[in-house]
Structure 1
């Protein structure tokens, strides 16, 4: 577990520094952050970006700090400490009386990675030779922008083949909000094929995607197995950044490219707020491209008009 690992690493540092974790100060936590940000990278020493050659990524450091913060929250709750050395930021006065809270590590917000058209075709070429279960999982994950947990938790009664709708139950989502989203006709064909195959594994209602391994035969497919399958496809296709979440990112970006409004994208994705959906608008560069085109069209027209006026003036002088 990442959180357990994060706490274990912090406790190891305290042991190395001969510091009792229950009495550690903010300086000790800062030392831990410094170590996380400078430790040698497994990818080599050729640093071309902050998180490309040395140290953990910003998101990973944030995750490591969460486990340490929760540890001290527990100590404070139990009365073993008076304060939390990690904290949740400090107030910084703003120019108009407002302000912001800055954490121990400044959070960097990056756009999600999506494959190029060529990389996507390579993934699809490899997936074409996969069993129908794997092909259906990839198709549904893309069509309905499903997270890995949402996909693997689907049940047979969550699907409405007649209307080509899938229900994502609230307990399987991050926002704890249920939603119903459509899927394509091509995915519907794959679903029909898979249901015929699934009947040879089990006719019982329940989990849609079933394991066919000897150890867990006819049991719901685990998240770990799903990740392993996608990882194998990514490696074979030579697109190693492709993951179980990539199809969701790609779908939402494609919706933004097609002109969907941010509120519609947020509803489709199951986001509580539009801020998360805005990433895909930015990633698609739809608004920027449209504004750029409109702006350039106006500038172009003005420049041509000036040239035309210049030509008429020159003709009159002749």
Structure 2
């Protein structure tokens, strides 16, 4: 998808058409086959930065770190539905820390491109990195401190409340929720499933590389109850369309038998979440919950990482959200063992003088 053919980006962000180098950089990424959603995110982040440059009257090709800092400040002070009082980055006003990081990435990559083209000598955004300790060694922070929060997962009571609402949903929505949890699927992975990805005999499904976040294909299992629900849905789907292809289809009058979009599924989950009084529940919550449950069951970290489709266990650690009760139980078990050992050793020590005196 070259930028010329993707005129929608320029239509949505006219500023991109006013900066030749920016348009050229986006075209390179598009021609390299980056996912459309990635290109959209890059276009948005870069366009917002270019607008800030235009407001202060600086050519982005020669902009300094101070101009990038002004862009970051604008992001942190942008009005938010969360609140009006700015306490810190990610405090409830302005964009969330993760969103700010997302906006900065395309700006940093854009300047990397300008350096490679010989148009700049340094990158005003920079990146955090670690160097061996010494005269100038140690940890060097990035432009914006990165905050990593534990994912939110529902309590057992909250999960039951969600299931009670979901019970009244059409079979398509119920099986999608079941698969999203059973196989720890991301939203795009779930909505992109095709009929040929299913292996009902082995109760597994294939997550194709082209729809995953890191382009790694994997095969994951699903449970017997989900298999029953899936069979019911396939019979229902046959009444909408007998054609092979996208597994989950729209049933609306306007888009009947068309593939279900990511945004439609997000709206479905949002509606269910609000009905269950769980506004924090999202399409990614089922993935968090599944990986956390696997950790609670004693799965090893590398096994969870493989199941989740992570390249490294570092990514998996973010998703394993053990509750305080789980940690307290582990601590209590460990302390019980240590206590028993110490008592045993004290008993052995106390016996020694007695034995010596008896001699």
- TM superposition score category, shorter chain reference: 0.7 to 0.9
Per-residue deviation, 1:22: 1.8
Are 1:238 and 2:277 matched, yes or no?
A: yes
What is the root-mean-square deviation in Å for CA atoms of aligned residues? 2.9
Q: Which one of 171, 175, 180 corresponds to residue 214 of structure 2?
A: 175
Are 1:157 and 2:196 matched, yes or no?
A: yes
Match of 1:312 in 2: none
Q: Which one of 121, 138, 142 corresponds to residue 82 of structure 1?
A: 121
Q: Across the two proteins, how many residue pairs are aligned to each other? A: 309
Match of 1:247 in 2: 286
Are 1:42 and 2:81 matched, yes or no?
A: yes
Q: Which one of 242, 266, 269 corresponds to residue 308 of structure 2?
A: 269
Contact 2:296 2:322 in 1 (8 A): no
Per-residue deviation, 1:291: 4.6
Q: Which one of 121, 125, 136 corresponds to residue 175 of structure 2?
A: 136
Change over 3 Å in CA distance of 1:90–1:295 after alignment to 2: closer
Pairs within 5 Å for 1:7-18: 7-18=46-57
Q: Which one of 277, 283, 308 corresponds to residue 322 of structure 2?
A: 283
Contact 1:140 1:183 in 2 (8 A): yes
Contact 1:40 1:53 in 2 (8 A): no
Q: Secondary structure at the match of 2:332?
A: helix
Change over 3 Å in CA distance of 1:18–1:49 after alignment to 2: closer
Change over 3 Å in CA distance of 1:47–1:103 after alignment to 2: closer
Contact 2:288 2:320 in 1 (8 A): no
Match of 1:31 in 2: 70
Cα separation, 1, equivalents of 2:137 and 2:68: 28
Match of 2:108 in 1: 69
Change over 3 Å in CA distance of 1:50–1:97 after alignment to 2: closer
Match of 2:264 in 1: 225
Match of 1:122 in 2: 161
Match of 1:258 in 2: 297
Q: Which one of 108, 111, 127 corresponds to residue 150 of structure 2?
A: 111
Q: More deviation in 233-242 or 83-92?
A: 83-92
Cα separation, 2, equivalents of 1:73 and 1:305: 63
Contact 1:154 1:207 in 2 (8 A): yes
Moved over 6 A (4+): 302-308
Q: Secondary structure at the match of 1:189?
A: helix
Cα separation, 1, equivalents of 2:164 and 2:134: 55
Q: Which one of 46, 53, 57 corresponds to residue 92 of structure 2?
A: 53
Q: Secondary structure at the match of 1:263?
A: helix
Per-residue deviation, 1:190: 0.8
Match of 2:21 in 1: none
Question: What TM-score do you get using the length of structure 1 for normalisation?
Answer: 0.86
Change over 3 Å in CA distance of 1:288–1:159 after alignment to 2: same
Q: Secondary structure at the match of 1:201?
A: coil
Match of 2:5 in 1: none
Cα separation, 2, equivalents of 1:96 and 1:16: 40
Change over 3 Å in CA distance of 1:22–1:50 after alignment to 2: closer
Please list the CA deviations of residues 248-280 of structure 1 after superposition, one character each: whole Å capped at 9, or x if unmatched. Answer: 110000000111110110111111111112234
Unaligned ranges ≥5, structure 2: 1-39, 348-359
Please list the CA deviations of residues 141-179 of structure 1 after superposition, one character each: whole Å capped at 9, or x if unmatched. Answer: 000001111111111121111221111122221222221
Cα separation, 2, equivalents of 1:44 and 1:297: 46
